[in-house]
Structure 1
Amino acid sequence: MGEAAAACGLSIDTLRYYEREGLTLSRTPRNASGQRRYGMSDIRWLAALVMLRGTGIQIGQIKRYTELARHPGTEGERMRMLEQHRERVIARMEQTRVHLTAIDRKIAAYREKREAHRQRARAQP
């Protein structure tokens, strides 16, 4: 489990949570000593979930996407979900750009103010 979590960029606790919430495509088999055995398809699936979470998708949406992925013939609906999510990500990126511009203006104003203070301090005898 630790290796799988590390390979996907998850903590073990998060991986356990994903399993409890049914976010894995199938039940993870266990070896003779009871340890979970993740295959490459499991790792790829979990890595995709990490990517989706990193873009802000909600757990409920991931649950729906996972449920759809378990059934062949749902590719169109999954594609629509991803397209809608993509639009939300783009909107957030635009909003973040606006906020970043405001932050840059504020930093520039502080730099100008700091420089003005330095120049006044140098000009004083």
Structure 2
Amino acid sequence: MSAGGERTFTIGEVAEAVGMSVHALRFYEREQLLVGPIGRTSGGRRRYSAIDVDWLRICTRLRESGMPLAELKRFAALVREGPGNEAERLALLDAQRERVDQQINALEQAREVIAWKTDVYEQHLRNGEAIGLWDPTIAGTATPSTMRNPSRLSPA
């Protein structure tokens, strides 16, 4: 418990709660990614508040989404500064959302190719046919995008 009676958490408890290592938590503190100072016991051990835990959950999700460390640092600095910079915070989050949307689109395209190629192999197995090297000129071996637009076929 803190002096104010609020529940506090050890570094190990926080690491488990947010899914990161104790070493990573110390790194986040050194890199000034936290929005407030971390309390300490009289013996010097870190004590985190519920707000710290919630903020770290946000940070881990932003990092998992690919947000660059420099942008996460900037975001944390803006939050520490307090009200008045919401437009800049929003711009950082909007840019990250756009990057995530692009990643999702790329993954959906990859999944489409995988599903299509899985279907090709399943069909060949059902028919007892062997498949040799990939050849875009052989029916059933062109990619979904080239099937929709044959002009995208390249000689390579």
- Regarding TM over 0.5, the answer is yes
**Cα distance in 2 for residues equivalent to 1:53 and 1:9:** 12
Query: Which has the larger share of helix?
Result: 1
1:54 matched to which residue of 2?
A: 64
3-state SS of the aligned residue for 2:44? coil
Moved over 4 A (4+): none
Q: Within 5 A, what are the aligned runs for 1:1-40?
A: 1-40=11-50
Letter in 1 for 2:63: R
Partner deviation per Cα, 1:25-62 (whole Å, 9 max, x = no partner): 12211102221000011011100001111211111110
3-state SS of the aligned residue for 1:61? helix
Q: TM-score, normalised by structure 2?
A: 0.71
**Cα distance in 1 for residues equivalent to 2:21 and 2:128:** 48
Letter in 2 for 1:68: L
How far is the alpha carbon of 1:23 from its aligned partner? 0.6
Structure 2 stretches lacking a partner, 5+ long? 1-10, 130-156
**What percent identity do the matched residue pairs reach?**
34
Letter in 1 for 2:61: M
**Cα distance in 2 for residues equivalent to 1:107 and 1:16:** 45
CA RMSD of aligned residues (A): 1.4
Structure 1 stretches lacking a partner, 5+ long? 119-125
